[in-house]
Structure 1
């Protein structure tokens, strides 16, 4: 698949923040409601700078694996809070470019709008690819939220500076919530519906679960 080359990869904080500032206005918060092919994206680190980026494309509904790609590399950008995408996105972009199919939705292990600069990994990859994208975080990153109800599907809004930037969503009865935020070309209701549909048995959505397994060097697990 094709990924747009909208900027060179930066080397400094100032350059990275300038990229975010330039791309942030391109984010759209509306889009389609159905996604036949869904890609999960995750990165696993080996040591401080070595990483493996993985993309696993599933067929919506059956969760059948359509294609999977992993890329080993080395990050060249320093760890700076709020700019973490610049450590992982180059390898993820390379993995996406190796796909022979184009997914309809990117499900990222990370954040979208629920980000200190309002432009997390899901926003960045969504804008670069032009595809709908959402972020699913395992822990709260920014903003305030109330604990959602304990039943599957319960949620509460995540607010930051008076704006709703995502939801704390319970994907299984009695388990910790995940933190869902829009990345690009998707409404928040749709993003949460997709996360629930893609998490029929476990806390994490299947596309991310399988990408995590692949990035760690294993085969993708069955649902």
Structure 2
């Protein structure tokens, strides 16, 4: 898999913000796909060496949730740690991992934010626009926005709102557990995104895409020593 849209990665903070503002205009916030048969989970973790990170992709069958393919790559961090610009640190190794994937996904779920971001262009949106693939941001924590607590039942959701704009959903994937934060990445509507995250979370709070990708990055880091 190769990106459809490309840009430089050796950017200053100002240039990176400008890139976000420009590319965010390409985000599509409604369903734009035919069928979904394969779903990718994406996660990035940092090794004990400060300049090394691991990107992992796990491809699941959308119906059985069984693992079809998995890829992990090691890369060097080039972009500094700046809140709101994490995608510029983490996307280069993610792109390298996708270049090794032989089963192209129809949907990507990222452990992070989509449009629930100050400039409405978190990692999930950035990745979705670059590859022009439907993506969902699924974060364990809230980056910004206000909400009322959703009901305690599985599948309950309340709207995440920032400056009067709906930027995501606060979703209860399991009854009586902490909710997670779902936002549109690209080419998918919020309701559909929440429905998919519930399907991907049959047993645990986090979707299988996130759980399995997280397990893979941690396993890879342990192997690196």
Find out whether 1:40 has 2:34 as its counterpart: no
Q: In 1, distance between residues paired with 2:35 and 2:138?
A: 18
Secondary structure of the residue that 1:168 maps to in structure 2? strand
Q: How does 1:29-108 map to 2 (within 5 A)?
A: 29-30=29-30, 31-32=32-33, 34-47=35-48, 48-108=50-110
TM-score by length of 1: 0.95
Gaps of 5+ in 2: 221-225
Corresponding position of 2:22: 22
Q: In 2, distance between residues paired with 1:29 and 1:96?
A: 23
Q: In 1, distance between residues paired with 2:78 and 2:5?
A: 18
State the Cα distance separating 1:11 from its structure 2 match.
Answer: 2.9
TM-score by length of 2: 0.94
1:51-86 superposed Cα distances (whole Å, 9 cap, x missing partner): 110000000120111111000111110111110111
Q: How many residues align?
A: 218
Which of 107, 123, 127 aligns to 2:125? It is: 123
1:103-157 superposed Cα distances (whole Å, 9 cap, x missing partner): 0000000000101111000000000001000100001111101111111011110
Q: Which moved more, 1:181-190 or 1:20-29?
A: 20-29
Which of 210, 213, 218 aligns to 2:212? It is: 210
Corresponding position of 2:136: 134
Q: In 1, distance between residues paired with 2:4 and 2:188?
A: 19
**Mapped contact 2:52–2:75 kept (Cα < 8 A):** yes
Q: In 2, distance between residues paired with 1:156 and 1:108?
A: 20
Find out whether 1:6 has 2:3 as its counterpart: no
Q: Where has structure 1 moved over 2 Å in runs of 4 or more? A: none
Q: CA RMSD in A?
A: 1.1
**Mapped contact 1:110–1:120 kept (Cα < 8 A):** yes
**Mapped contact 2:5–2:131 kept (Cα < 8 A):** no
Gaps of 5+ in 1: 219-223
Corresponding position of 2:174: 172
State the Cα distance separating 1:100 from its structure 2 match.
Answer: 0.9
Q: In 1, distance between residues paired with 2:94 and 2:120?
A: 20
Secondary structure of the residue that 2:42 maps to in structure 1? strand
Q: In 1, distance between residues paired with 2:64 and 2:73?
A: 26
Corresponding position of 1:194: 196
